[in-house]
Amino acid sequence: MKPALDDIDNKILALLMDNARMPVTTIAKRVGIARTTVIARISALEKREVIAGYGLKLNQAMYQPAVRAYVGLSIEARSVAGLIKFLQQLPEVESLCAVSGAIDYMLTLRCATTEVLDKLLDQIGAMEGVRQTSTSIILSKRIDRSAL
């Protein structure tokens, strides 16, 4: 069951997602509550595991390889375990999500060049049980609320 969050919790979480190192006093001023209340709220969110941890968000333009892509995968059910095992070994794989709809999985890749992406897509497409792939290269992020 999801823990109930009120408007104050949601405001605190939004500020922390933008900057996990934001000083408690700044959060308190922006939310309009006491600093000690912010500390107590954050502690409660951590104990309830709403906040699972804190991470590092890199400047994508300075760190990430030049090419990122979303890849939709249609997979035969009997081949899923082998495909996941294969994908876990690839450092270019950012995420793999099971999704509903016309495709079975959505894969996010990051590669140094389009040539590397092309070769990787050929490898994935040649895997046993892969019926179809559909790739979209990410041109830019317009909104990014991801923690990492």
Q: Report the pLDDT value the prediction gives residue 17, as an integer from 0 to 100.
A: 86
Q: Report the pLDDT value the prediction gives residue 148, as an integer from 0 to 100.
A: 43
For 13-36, what is the mean pLDDT? 93
Q: Report the pLDDT value the prediction gives residue 1, as an integer from 0 to 100.
A: 60
Same-domain check for residues 91 and 126? yes
Same-domain check for residues 78 and 127? yes
Same-domain check for residues 100 and 39? no
Query: Mean pLDDT over all residues of the chain?
Result: 89
What pLDDT digit, counting tens, does each position of 85-129 carry? 999 999 899 999 999 999 999 999 999 889 999 999 999 999 999
Q: Report the pLDDT value the prediction gives residue 134, as an integer from 0 to 100.
A: 95
Same-domain check for residues 92 and 123? yes
For every residue of the chain, which 3-state class applies, written as one string?
Answer: CCCCCCHHHHHHHHHHHHCCCCCHHHHHHHHCCCHHHHHHHHHHHHHCCCCCCCCCCCCHHHHCCCEEEEEEEEECHHHHHHHHHHHHCCCCEEEEEECCCCCCEEEEEEECCHHHHHHHHHHHHHCCCEEEEEEEECCCCCCCCCCC
Same-domain check for residues 84 and 29? no
43: CATH:
1.10.10.10
Same-domain check for residues 40 and 75? no
Domain that holds residue 89: 60-137
